Chains A and B, each alone.
Chain A
Amino acid sequence: MVKDWRFWFVIPTVLALGTVVAFPTGFLLWMSTAHWVVTEPGVYFNGAQNFQTLFASSAFLSATGVTLAYLTLSTAIMVVLAFAFALALAGPHSSGLLRALMITPLVIPPVVVGFTWRFLLNGEIGFIGAYLLPAIGIEANLLAEPLGALFSIVIADVWSRTPFMFLIFLAALQSIPRDYYEAIRLDGAKRFHEFFLITLPMMKGAISVAILFRVIDALNTFELIYVMTKGGPGRSTQTYSLLGWKTAFQGFDFGAAAALGVVMIVVTTIVALAVFRRFMRGV
């Protein structure tokens, strides 16, 4: 094995990722079982205490609700929009310029995305919040209200992340052989037949992969919320990542934050396994 060149080609990557990912993950597991509050002296083993405290805390409960609501709402909107845009731009005649414009949000730093939307939606100075919405009769300072704030974050996130899903769907749509459509058209199929009998079944894999990536991405969303609401008003936009950051770097409770990190790993694993089992056999 050591004589094999492939071993030497792979080993630097394995070592690098072992240092920055695998070792830290192991360390996290250990941290989650430790009493480790930075502002108090002493770090010691305290078993499942961190998890018990976490599951019993109202902050964790509300963060679970917020994370779920944010995840479901944003994912649903994204799938529909990305699918529609991909269908509209998948044809052989659509230009590269249009596609380039469509994916621009993907390369804009999420921090900037958050700021821009906070600016646009602001109820006093924002182009949308103070000008467009009042013009159609909606007088609301979205970011200052619990539901409005959550919805604002979903809008900004949809703006920023739909292009990635759009790319996945576009690639998948373009890999469906044209003959399938021609064959079914000869049999007298209508547009919606084509969609439900060919497009949708052929896109199942891509949709599930896209949703998997989306769930991971949504669990990681931090800066957008940090910049737009910092988790407020109250706890109304405080997701797992926000709660984790507050627990670790404002509450200085590394043990409890690590326990939350473990919960996030478990959630990701469950979603990933579910998707793999159903759709990605043999990949």
Chain B
Amino acid sequence: MARKLGRTLSDDLGRWTLITLALIFVLLPIVWLAIASVKTRNAALAIPPEFIFTPDFSAYARIMSGGFLGAFQNSLIIALSNVVLTLVLGVPAAFALTRMHGKVQENLSFWLLSIRMAPLFAVILPLYVLFKSIGLLDTPIAVSLAHLTLTLPLAIWMLVTYFRSIPVDLDHAARLDGANALQILWLVIIPIARPMLASVAIIVFIFSWNEFLLAFILTSRNAQTVPVAVASLAGTMSFDWPLIAAVSVASMLPALIFVGFAQRHIVSGLGSGAVK
């Protein structure tokens, strides 16, 4: 008994040391960024750092005057339209995939999986040429469509795992009552799947909101997203760290709010989707 207790104690000590170190590693950059955003320019650059200071929110005011609102608006339009497109296309496709058998289902699943694995850079160059030739370069539509390459396979992947867990008997019962496939999906499946759909929507939103490379290549001025705007601050070299920090903090807010809401679903959704 005493040996067992000793083992548990030393286990717990090791465990909590590890967790504490991990938390410091994870939280330090976020906390430091948040602190930098409410310092004055000089205070943000001071070494040794000032741990006690009066907060100064002028960097957040400079977001407004610095022309970043347009980028936030673009990102919002792109991410929201991408969520709608992904769900409208992905939900029926994922449902049909779980109600299929044999070669067609296998080949389709493999195709979707291989798209999820395609290196982004390989898709970008042709997409750039394509969007340029039809005059869609530097528009939110182009970025939103391009983001489907990432979000649609991801969403279907997660949804398939979930739809499999809904018994086929439910479909049969509804069909006996005279419902067609669309009605089954709309009246039976979607109401059950609502929490899962919400977390898929959130994950898709975050992917689209955070994505840089496609948005960077496909936009120049008008449709610039927040990550692209943040990166372009690097080129200015004015070293307005508080401003960069403030824009960064603002750009993390939607994702952080969502994670607060749907932490459980993100953990189970991304985790199980990746394993199964």
- The minimal Cβ–Cβ distance linking B99 to chain A, given in whole angstroms, is 6
Assess whether B231 is in contact with A223, with CB atoms less than 8 Å apart.
yes
A191 surroundings in chain B (CB, below 8 A): 7, 11
Assess whether A101 is in contact with B230, with CB atoms less than 8 Å apart.
no
Also in contact, A265 and B118, with CB within 8 A (given A6-B100, A9-B181, A170-B271): yes
B36 surroundings in chain A (CB, below 8 A): 119
Which of A24, A109, A119 is close to B251, meaning CB atoms less than 8 Å apart? A109
Looking at B125, B130, B248, which has the most chain A CB atoms within 10 Å of its CB?
A: B125
C-alpha gap A115/B47 in the complex (Å): 18
Which of A100, A222, A272 is close to B259, meaning CB atoms less than 8 Å apart? A100
Which of A19, A125, A254 is close to B125, meaning CB atoms less than 8 Å apart? A254
**Chain A, range 147-196, C-beta contacts under 8 Å to B:** 159, 164, 167-168, 170-172, 175, 191
Check: B70 CB closer than 8 A to any chain A CB: no
- Stretch in B59-67, B149-157, B190-198 touching the partner: B149-157
Check: A54 CB closer than 8 A to any chain B CB: no
Assess whether A99 is in contact with B212, with CB atoms less than 8 Å apart.
no
A124 surroundings in chain B (CB, below 8 A): 47
Also in contact, A20 and B231, with CB within 8 A (given A10-B96, A109-B251, A120-B29): no
B32 surroundings in chain A (CB, below 8 A): 116, 119-120, 127
Also in contact, A24 and B123, with CB within 8 A (given A9-B92, A17-B152, A102-B26): yes
Which of A10, A209, A241 is close to B274, meaning CB atoms less than 8 Å apart? A209
Assess whether B263 is in contact with A99, with CB atoms less than 8 Å apart.
yes
Which of B28, B85, B181, B267 is close to A5, meaning CB atoms less than 8 Å apart? B181
Check: B234 CB closer than 8 A to any chain A CB: yes
Check: A13 CB closer than 8 A to any chain B CB: yes
Assess whether B230 is in contact with A13, with CB atoms less than 8 Å apart.
no
**Chain A, range 59-113, C-beta contacts under 8 Å to B:** 81, 84-85, 88-89, 96, 98-105, 107-113
Assess whether A109 is in contact with B252, with CB atoms less than 8 Å apart.
yes
B181 surroundings in chain A (CB, below 8 A): 5-6, 9
Check: B168 CB closer than 8 A to any chain A CB: no
Check: A16 CB closer than 8 A to any chain B CB: yes
A172 surroundings in chain B (CB, below 8 A): 275
C-alpha gap A110/B252 in the complex (Å): 10
* Chain B 244-276 interface mask (CB, 8 Å, partner A; 1/0): 110010011001101110011011101110110
Size of A's binding interface in residues, CB under 8 A: 88
Which of B182, B241, B272 is close to A171, meaning CB atoms less than 8 Å apart? B272
**Chain A, range 194-216, C-beta contacts under 8 Å to B:** 205-206, 209-210, 212-213, 216
Which of B18, B28, B127, B271 is close to A167, meaning CB atoms less than 8 Å apart? B271
C-alpha gap A20/B149 in the complex (Å): 6
Assess whether A226 is in contact with B231, with CB atoms less than 8 Å apart.
yes
**Chain B, range 219-240, C-beta contacts under 8 Å to A:** 226-228, 230-231, 233-234
Assess whether A171 is in contact with B268, with CB atoms less than 8 Å apart.
yes
Assess whether A264 is in contact with B267, with CB atoms less than 8 Å apart.
no
A112 surroundings in chain B (CB, below 8 A): 33, 227, 230, 248, 251-252
Assess whether A27 is in contact with B126, with CB atoms less than 8 Å apart.
yes
Also in contact, A20 and B256, with CB within 8 A (given A100-B263, A159-B29, A220-B213): no
* Chain B 85-105 interface mask (CB, 8 Å, partner A; 1/0): 100111011011101100000
Q: Which of chain B's residues has its CB closest to A267's CB?
A: B119
Q: Which of chain B's residues has its CB closest to A36's CB?
A: B129
- The minimal Cβ–Cβ distance linking A123 to chain B, given in whole angstroms, is 10
* Chain B 38-76 interface mask (CB, 8 Å, partner A; 1/0): 000000111111000000000000000000000000000
Also in contact, A100 and B108, with CB within 8 A (given A21-B123, A27-B129): no
C-alpha gap A159/B30 in the complex (Å): 11
A105 surroundings in chain B (CB, below 8 A): 26, 30
Check: B1 CB closer than 8 A to any chain A CB: no
Check: A240 CB closer than 8 A to any chain B CB: yes
Q: Which of chain A's residues has its CB closest to B44's CB?
A: A125
A159 surroundings in chain B (CB, below 8 A): 25-26, 29
Residues of A within 8 A of B (CB): 5-6, 9-10, 12-14, 16-17, 19-25, 27-28, 31, 81, 84-85, 88-89, 96, 98-105, 107-113, 115-117, 119-120, 124-125, 127, 130-131, 159, 164, 167-168, 170-172, 175, 191, 205-206, 209-210, 212-213, 216, 219-220, 222-223, 226-227, 240-241, 244-245, 248-249, 254, 257-258, 260-262, 264-265, 268, 272
A-B residue pairs in contact (CB < 8 Å), sample of 16? A16-B89, A23-B130, A25-B122, A96-B263, A104-B27, A109-B248, A110-B212, A110-B227, A112-B248, A115-B230, A167-B267, A170-B267, A227-B234, A248-B125, A254-B125, A254-B129
Residues of B within 8 A of A (CB): 7, 11, 15, 18-19, 22-23, 25-30, 32-33, 36, 44-49, 85, 88-90, 92-93, 95-97, 99-100, 108, 112, 114-115, 117-123, 125-127, 129-130, 145-146, 148-149, 152-153, 156, 180-182, 185, 206, 209-210, 212-213, 216-217, 226-228, 230-231, 233-234, 241, 244-245, 248, 251-252, 255-256, 258-260, 263-264, 266-268, 270-272, 274-275
The list of the 3 closest CB pairs from A to B, nearest first, reads A171-B271, A24-B126, A5-B181
